[in-house]
Amino acid sequence: MPSLDSIVIDARDPAELAGFWSVALDAPVTFQGTYGTRLSLPGQFELFLDFVPVPERLERPHRLHLDLYGGAERDAVVRELTELGAVPVDIGQGEVPWVVLADPEDFAFCVLPGQEAGVETGSIMAVTIEADNKDAAYAFWRDAAGWLPGAHEYTLQHPSGTGPLLAFFDPAEPSRGKSPMHLDLRVTPEEDYDAVLRDLLARGATRAEHDWGELPWTVLIDPGGNECCLLSAD
């Protein structure tokens, strides 16, 4: 079974945007080069936040976004984030217990006031995913990554009981094109790449059509209509 390897964000300036998130999440930079910048998220299992160079991308609203844990000090967390360069934004949220901000490249994210007892998500409370078919998307990621049902409907959590949730919602609007945030799966060294790919296709993923030439990974569309990639073990 492949593992959820990374949350990937398209960035105009990967190094600069990664710098913001590195401080915001207390996540060290573990790689920086021509192909992007990688942060290692703290926690009990390996998960990365990758920023890759993409000069043009869809503007907000985006189908995937991050929810951060603010806890009892939510307002203090918001102040720290705005001092780093985040700005408050109105996405039509109305009166809600969370605060919506945008990072220096205008990716919206939320800062939530708390989390349930017994749930240890870390700084990122959830990756929120709008899916055309949230039932199918939920089942796909549950089975593909081996994650377990969370405390709330349509949420998944790593078997360790730690790390960010995957939370699935109905879309606010139809997809307008390639999402600037996606998830990557990676096969384990013991697995056969082609066999894993066939399994993902059998579970409802489809190959994405693109004009990016030959890639060392496979770009897929999950059953919820969102891009994801299958990476080799090395």
**DSSP conformation letters of 159-194:** TTSBSPEEEEE--SS---SS-SEEEEEE--TTS-HH
Give the mean pLDDT of the chain.
93
Strand partners, 10: 52
Predicted confidence (pLDDT) at residue 211 exceeds the cutoff of 80: no
Q: Are 166 and 127 in contact (CB under 8 A)?
A: yes
* In the chain, % of residues over pLDDT 70: 97
Spatial strand order of the sheet with 108-112 comes to 87-88, 99-102, 108-112, 64-69, 124-130, 165-169, 155-157, 148-149
Cα–Cα distances in Å, from 72 out to 75, 98, 221?
A: 8, 12, 38
* 165 three-state secondary structure: strand
Give the pLDDT mean for 157-165.
Answer: 93
- pLDDT above 90 covers what percent of the chain? 77
pLDDT at 116: 53
Q: pLDDT tens, 182-209?
A: 999 999 999 999 999 999 999 999 999 8
Do residues 97 and 113 make contact, with C-beta atoms less than 8 angstroms apart? yes
Q: For residues 78 and 82, what is the distance between their CA atoms, to the nearest angstrom? A: 6
Q: For the whole model, what pTM was predicted?
A: 0.94
Q: What is the DSSP letter of 224?
A: T
Residue 172's Cβ-side half-sphere holds a number of Cα atoms within 13 Å equal to 11
DSSP 54: -
Report residue 117's pLDDT band, with 50, 70 and 90 as the boundaries: very low
| Domains of the chain (ranges, CATH numbers) | 3-231 (3.10.180.10)
Is the preceding omega at residue 61 within 30 degrees of 0, hence cis? yes
Q: What is the DSSP string of 74-88?
A: HHHHHHHHHHHT-EE
Dihedral sign from CA coordinates of 118, 120, 125, 129: negative
Using the predicted structure, report yes or no on whether residue 118 has a pLDDT greater than 70. no
Among 121, 123, 105, 164, which residue's Cα sits nearest to residue 27? 123
